[in-house]
């Protein structure tokens, strides 16, 4: 069986690069694909290419065209995609937003630290979690 593909759905190039770099530092060797907004990601997810793979999604909330909330909602309402694990990775730390994401079906909610070193460390720790996480 192919390794799980990690989909980074993040509009900020710098954040996307940091996430990928620090996942690799956390010994995550899975294939990683980056999508610059929710619309591009959902187009991919509904494609024939995507159906042949297992995924884990790292999802930013605040993106142009189609935000992370809508991506999460559409994934969890569709029987084909509702079991794909979704880790929300965003700067929003408002309790209502966190509850909204869990209510919509996210598996983990991580607030991106603003400080570079703390952000890097949070992503490395996420890498440790991904090393032991089972994906359906």
83-108 mean pLDDT: 92
The pTM (predicted TM-score) of the whole model is: 0.88
> Tens digit of pLDDT for each residue in 103-135?
999 998 988 766 767 776 777 676 666 665 555
- What local confidence, expressed as pLDDT, does residue 133 receive? 56
How many percent of the chain have pLDDT more than 90? Answer: 56
Between these two residues, 117 and 89, which has the higher pLDDT value?
89
pLDDT tens, residue by residue, 17-48: 988 988 888 788 889 999 999 999 999 999 99
**C-alpha to C-alpha distance for 97 and 51, rounded to whole angstroms:** 30
In sequence order, what DSSP letters do the residues of the chain get, joined into one string?
Answer: -PPPEEEEE-S-HHHHHHHHHHHHHTT--S-EEEESSHHHHHHHHTSHHHHTS-EEEEE-S--SSS-HHHHHHHHHHSTTTTTS-EEEEES---HHHHHHHHHHT-SEEEEPPSSHHHHHHHHHHHHHHHHH----
């Amino acid at each position: 069986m192919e390794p799980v593909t990690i989909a980074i759905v993040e509009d900020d190039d710098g954040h996307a690069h940091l996430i990928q770099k620090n996942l690799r530092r956390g010994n995550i060797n899975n294939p990683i694909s980056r999508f610059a907004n929710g619309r591009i990601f959902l187009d991919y997810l509904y494609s024939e290419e995507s159906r042949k793979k297992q995924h884990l999604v790292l999802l930013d909330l605040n993106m142009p065209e189609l935000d992370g909330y809508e991506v999460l909602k559409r994934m969890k309402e569709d029987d084909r995609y509702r079991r794909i694990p979704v880790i929300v990775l965003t700067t929003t730390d408002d309790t209502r937003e966190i509850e909204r994401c869990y209510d919509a079906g996210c598996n983990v909610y991580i607030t991106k630290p603003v400080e570079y070193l703390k952000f890097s460390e949070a992503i490395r720790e996420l890498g440790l979690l991904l090393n032991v996480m089972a994906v359906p």
